Structure 1
Amino acid sequence: KGSQRAAKRVEAVRSALGELGVEKERAKMFFLPRGLHPEFVGAAQEMNKLVTELGPSPF
């Protein structure tokens, strides 16, 4: 249930970003199993690459 609630919140944030004219990709949720360090590192690297490509926030 917690993950489902979190996913709804992330979608609400993405929607709000879109309304503000900010890239929705700045908010993303990753579903990772517990204890899997390589998957966490991969998700963090993916998000870091995306944010770097998007550049600074317009705010």
Structure 2
Amino acid sequence: MIESTCRACHGVISWVDCPTGGWWQHEEHPEDGHDAVSGFDPTEDEDAYGRWVTRRRKA
């Protein structure tokens, strides 16, 4: 699991994997309803066995 800190509220957010991309979600949904904003974007790659692997993108 890839976790980060939301830049808007400083709460814990985690990356939700999806074969067509992914998204960040709050561990606890904020009362103001804002979307999770991370300081980095993960990248997904297909491994030698055809499985999708999510990695933190190198800066």
Give the structure with the larger helix fraction: 1
Q: Same fold (TM over 0.5)?
A: no
In the superposition, the TM-score normalised over structure 2's length comes to 0.25
In the superposition, the TM-score normalised over structure 1's length comes to 0.25
